[in-house]
Structure 1
Amino acid sequence: MISKQKTLQGKPVADPFVIALAKCLENSCVVTSETKSSNAAKLPNVCEHFKVDWTNLEGFMEREDWRF
């Protein structure tokens, strides 16, 4: 999930911490524009592995009952 190149270049990497925080908090989910991929460590795949709810922005707005 954390690419070696990003780590070596000192670039910020937040994904693991976002998932860990969502797992610790009640009634939370990870909001991402990524989609599941069978051969990649994308946020949705990792969230499902650790049983963390995830959604996209539109799903989040529906979940929170936003109205425009």
Structure 2
Amino acid sequence: MTKPSAISVFVAATSLLVASAPALHAQDAGGLKEWTTDQGVDEESVLDSDAAALKKKAEQEDICVPIGEGENCW
């Protein structure tokens, strides 16, 4: 029997790694606001349900929830 080459070992290891990797599920695009390409540039984006709840909680508790770089808070 011949000795396996480095390339064949690499290909076998890579295929095992790919086969055992968990499947990726769809993720949201990030951020807490929903915006579509159908909106105009000046239109306000709509808060998603998580962001709306977070904003309401921040207003009730009078806390700063960072919404980007700098001192911007809800």
Structure 2 length as normaliser, TM-score?
A: 0.25
Structure 1 length as normaliser, TM-score?
A: 0.26
Compare the two structures and name the one with the higher helix fraction: 1
| Higher-Rg member (1/2) | 2
